[in-house]
Chain A
Amino acid sequence: MDVFVFAVAAAVILIGAMGVVFSRNPVHAALMLVMTLFGIAVLFVQQQAHFLAAVQVVVYAGAIVVLFLFVIMLLGVDVAENVTVEPLVGQRTAAWVITAGSVGLLTALAIRAAQVSLGMPSGTRPLDGEGGNLVQLARVLFSDYLFAFEATSVLLVIAVVGAVVLANRSPGSTADAGEQEHSPTGAGR
């Protein structure tokens, strides 16, 4: 059963990843990415990491890919990118070299992991312990990491203020900044 689920999920992930790279249409590529992320979520469920699986779907497949799609739609779906030109010289060669290196490294790691069993206890706690990983996660979030959890709220405030500051520009002020007379950008607001 485990092998079967893994095989199906892996196939979904690989097909999705290939689709992202090879599809000509950016919207198709984004949708293929969703497929890959779903496959990874299935693998997380198989590893008893239910919460991670849910987050994977909600955050990555939901929020981030939707953001991608927004950007693609804003830039125009029809705009076909000319893929024959290399923006950076030697980019393509470097991509092949790095790909070959990564594949080699991963293969070596996989072989080593299969051969050598270190047999050492993990420094972290098991995921499917008392109350499941969701309860465990909630416990550390509101005990050990309570301060960090609250500190993220400051980050959100800054994100809002920063977005307002950067977006609240008088129209046309970015063009010809050198010559243009200074115009106040909503001073005091």
Chain B
Amino acid sequence: MIAGMFAQLGVPTDAPFAVPEVAWSALTPLLILIVGALALLVVTALVPRTLPVGFFTVTTVAVAAGAAVASLGSWDRVTDPDRGPYMAVAGAITLDGFSVLVTALLAITVVLVALLADGYLRREGLGAAEFSVLVLLSASGGVMMALANDLIVMFLGLEVLSIALYVLAGFQGDRRESQESAMKYFLLGAFASAFLLYGIALVYGATGSTNLGEIAGFLARDVPSEQGLLLGGMAMLIVGFGFKIGVVPFQSWVPDVYQGAPTPVTAFMASGVKVAGFAALLRVIVSALSVQAQDWRPVMWVLAMLTLVVGPAMAIVQTDVKRMLAYSSISHAGFILIGVQAASDRGTAGALFYLFAYSFMALGAFGVVSLVARQGDVGVDLDRFRGLSKRRPGLALVFAVFLLGQTGVPLTSGFMAKFSVIGAAVASESYALAMVAMLTSVVGAFAYLRVIVAMYLGDDEEMAEEGTRRVQIPAAAGLALGLALAVTVTLGVLPSTVLDAARDAVPARLSPSR
């Protein structure tokens, strides 16, 4: 038998082997991120002396910005009605408005995270080289998820994204909370990955393909002989993605992991990772499995409802601002799920816009928290923010805008975001969900307003005895906060550009013709 096995190696085959064409132009943003990270690794290893933190910040920002520009460069190509979206590398990836927009958004979050991390890494004395490399590679995993037109590629992207983040969460190895955060994230993340992989296997069993376009085509033509297999697979996929994006009841890891991880990493988790996770959910469940919408919509409805109720309810009892923001990110996942649950192009566009708006507010809010914290990421409870407006009026104002944005106050991006997903829910006749969303955003407002009240009305006496250390704002972090603030306000006042882009960015369903 063994001999037969090896004999097979020499079997000549006459069938021609067509090597798939690699469209390098489609891969440019991904390659920029990966090659940038590898180049950083090589440079760091070859240069004999320790390079300054600033070098890594500038390089990371340049690489990520390059990826964003490269991605947006193909926007006209993929949204042109004559040429339209296309597939590359044997149908493994899709270039459409959706992937272009998500890729650009991920790259921009990396730019802001790198800027925020600059001062943080100096303060904590952490290795900037490893941090930059891991953030860039993690983002490349997110880009793979955005591009994926195949469940295997989707899974690999998710693993690249997650494994880099497990390390980043435990980056501050001297701090016990950071280690705990990494361990929790790793164990639950691996658990979620197993669910996802099993779901992929079941969907493959039911439809005979891992290619999203072929799955959609199969479901449009035929009914799977084993409906249970498909339903089981879908349920597993939803559980797997649900863990990654942190929706109730799969949210238990979020508060501890967000609180323990270094704050710039937390900012990336709340922005980049949520974007990638929801991009995967939108592409797999909403787009490829759209035929099965009557099966997964009730599940999404329940998940959205639970998330909308539990997230804000837990947020209002927190006294630690970082932890409060972690719970608030759960409630925002609930809002984005409303767009997913709508199962319509409008819902997808709403969810995308929400992701765009929330990413910047989350980056900004966690950015402020990382500045206010003392060395070792301690002291981010509500008392520390008391009277911040007297010590640092600018910082307090910026933080207030981010918090008001997350509340959904008009003239901020949060209002337009909430409006777009709730509008999509109403259009899809999910009235109850829309009502609950509006009610819970009022409840959630209490959590944000408490911080604002503490900043503006709280007295500074407790802080005075601790010493008159002013909150330092490094230039890079200031730039990041300024950018996030500009986006938050601009999207609130003039949202039409991004709204239109989100409308054009509905995932395409392409199937490789064989």
Docked complex Cα distance between A155 and B158 (Å): 10
Number of A-B contacts (CB under 8 A): 159
Docked complex Cα distance between A152 and B264 (Å): 27
Q: Which of B5, B92, B124, B206 contacts A144 (CB 8 A)?
A: B92
Q: Which of B134, B156, B176, B206 contacts A165 (CB 8 A)?
A: B134
Contacts of B90 in A (CB 8 A): 143-147
A88 CB → nearest B CB, Å: 16
Number of interface residues of A (CB under 8 A): 48
Q: Is the CB of A50 within 8 A of B125?
A: no
Q: Which of A120, A143, A145, A174 contacts B179 (CB 8 A)?
A: A174
Chain B residue at minimal CB-CB distance from A53? B5
Within B358-380, the residues touching A (CB, 8 Å) are 375-376
Q: Does A68 contact B (CB under 8 A)?
A: no
Given A45-B1, A161-B134, are A143 and B20 also a contact pair (CB < 8 Å)? yes
Docked complex Cα distance between A53 and B13 (Å): 23
Contacts of B144 in A (CB 8 A): 151
Q: Does A112 contact B (CB under 8 A)?
A: no
Q: Does A28 contact B (CB under 8 A)?
A: no
Q: Does A154 contact B (CB under 8 A)?
A: yes
Q: Is the CB of A185 within 8 A of B153?
A: no
Given A143-B17, A189-B50, are A151 and B130 also a contact pair (CB < 8 Å)? no
Contacts of A113 in B (CB 8 A): none
Within A137-189, the residues touching B (CB, 8 Å) are 139, 142-148, 151-152, 154-155, 157-159, 161-162, 164-166, 169, 173-174, 177-178, 180, 182-189
Contacts of A133 in B (CB 8 A): 8
A135 CB → nearest B CB, Å: 6
Report the stretch among B167-175, B325-333, B399-407, B484-492 that lies at the interface.
B167-175
Q: Does A97 contact B (CB under 8 A)?
A: no
Q: Which of B11, B37, B130, B134 contacts A135 (CB 8 A)?
A: B11
Docked complex Cα distance between A141 and B219 (Å): 25
Docked complex Cα distance between A138 and B281 (Å): 30
Docked complex Cα distance between A169 and B171 (Å): 10
Q: Is the CB of A154 within 8 A of B141?
A: yes
Residue-by-residue, is A46-66 near B (CB-CB < 8 Å gives 1, otherwise 0)? 000010011000000000000
Given A146-B89, A148-B150, A174-B173, are A158 and B134 also a contact pair (CB < 8 Å)? yes
Q: Does B208 contact A (CB under 8 A)?
A: yes
Q: Is the CB of B93 within 8 A of A147?
A: yes
A101 CB → nearest B CB, Å: 17
A59 CB → nearest B CB, Å: 16
Additional pairs, 10, CB under 8 Å, beyond known A165-B127, A166-B173, A169-B173: A123-B206, A130-B15, A134-B5, A146-B22, A151-B160, A158-B134, A161-B41, A161-B133, A166-B167, A174-B174
Contacts of A174 in B (CB 8 A): 173-174, 179
Q: Is the CB of A131 within 8 A of B13?
A: yes
Contacts of B92 in A (CB 8 A): 144-148
Q: Does A126 contact B (CB under 8 A)?
A: no
Residue-by-residue, is B4-16 near A (CB-CB < 8 Å gives 1, otherwise 0)? 1100110101010
Output the residue of B22, B44, B163 with the most chain A CB within 10 A: B163
Q: Is the CB of A158 within 8 A of B164?
A: yes
Q: Provide 24 A-B residue pairs closer than 8 Å at the C-beta atoms, listed in order of the A residue.
A: A123-B206, A132-B8, A139-B17, A142-B17, A144-B20, A144-B512, A147-B153, A151-B153, A151-B156, A151-B157, A154-B140, A155-B156, A157-B41, A158-B167, A165-B171, A169-B173, A173-B173, A177-B174, A177-B175, A183-B125, A187-B125, A187-B128, A188-B50, A189-B129
Q: Does A93 contact B (CB under 8 A)?
A: no
Contacts of A146 in B (CB 8 A): 19-20, 22, 89-90, 92
Within B144-163, the residues touching A (CB, 8 Å) are 144, 150, 152-153, 156-157, 159-160, 163
Q: Is the CB of B8 within 8 A of A134?
A: yes
Q: Is the CB of A188 within 8 A of B127?
A: yes
Q: Does B18 contact A (CB under 8 A)?
A: yes
Q: Does A117 contact B (CB under 8 A)?
A: no
Interface residues in chain A, defined as those with a beta carbon under 8 Å from any beta carbon in chain B? 45, 50, 53-54, 118, 120, 123-124, 130-135, 139, 142-148, 151-152, 154-155, 157-159, 161-162, 164-166, 169, 173-174, 177-178, 180, 182-189
Docked complex Cα distance between A146 and B126 (Å): 37
5 nearest interchain CB pairs?
A123-B208, A188-B50, A147-B92, A132-B8, A162-B167
Q: Is the CB of B126 within 8 A of A187?
A: yes
Q: Is the CB of A142 within 8 A of B19?
A: yes
Contacts of A178 in B (CB 8 A): 176
Contacts of A185 in B (CB 8 A): 125-127, 173-174
Q: Is the CB of A147 within 8 A of B89?
A: yes
Contacts of B37 in A (CB 8 A): 157
Contacts of B133 in A (CB 8 A): 161
Contacts of A152 in B (CB 8 A): 156
Contacts of A148 in B (CB 8 A): 92, 150, 152-153, 156
A81 CB → nearest B CB, Å: 21
Contacts of B22 in A (CB 8 A): 146
Q: Is the CB of A131 within 8 A of B8?
A: yes
Docked complex Cα distance between A188 and B124 (Å): 12
Q: Does B207 contact A (CB under 8 A)?
A: yes
A142 CB → nearest B CB, Å: 7
Contacts of B153 in A (CB 8 A): 147-148, 151
